Amino acid sequence: MKCSFKALVLAVIWIGGAAGQQAAPTESMEHTLQAGLPIRWWRQPALAQSVGLSTDQQKKMDDVFLQNRLKLIELNAALEKEETLLEPMVAMDRPDENKIRAQIDRVAQARADLEKGNAYLLLGIRLILSPDQWRNLQAESPRPRTGRGGNREEPSPAANPRPNPKKSR
């Protein structure tokens, strides 16, 4: 029982740490596409020109962003709520394993819902770009990322906009 409790405490610390590293949706979108592109990158004249965006495409991207923004704010709030409910459960002198496991599942589901919401936003923006514009955008974001397992990956504008809590050190 002591080993499983230690594992639980470590899991909760990890969850709490990951939550602390995560910004609100509008903040995390500051580094949209995890390639160093700022929020509403399509509104930066030089970048929009080098990617080859039309004003119509920029308007469509604004629409996609605005349609998804409120949902992302709601999903982030739901995640924070579930994490907040978990904290006192683990801090109790005699933690209830079943209740904590159920709450961990709710935290994980809220996190998954937020990740899916972020992906929908990125997909909506990606679908507006032509294949040539997509390649141009990828060329504008040359910052390499370290992927899971420490492998170097080429940056992908379709990547998750939230930081990876398991960053290599």
Of 77-81, 136-140, 153-157, highest mean pLDDT: 77-81
- pLDDT of 14 > 70? The answer is no
Quickly count: other Cβ atoms within 10 Å of residue 86's Cβ: 21
Candidates 135, 149, 150, 118; CA nearest to 33 is: 118
Query: Which tokens go with 100?
Result: 């904590």
The CA radius of gyration of the chain, in Å to the nearest whole number, is 19
Query: Which tokens go with 22?
Result: 């995560």
pTM of the model: 0.61
**pLDDT for the residue 39:** 76
Candidates 84, 140, 137, 75; CA nearest to 112 is: 75
pLDDT per position as a tens digit, 65-85: 999 999 999 999 999 999 999
Candidates 5, 14, 21; CA nearest to 90 is: 5
pLDDT per position as a tens digit, 104-135: 999 999 999 999 999 999 899 999 999 999 99
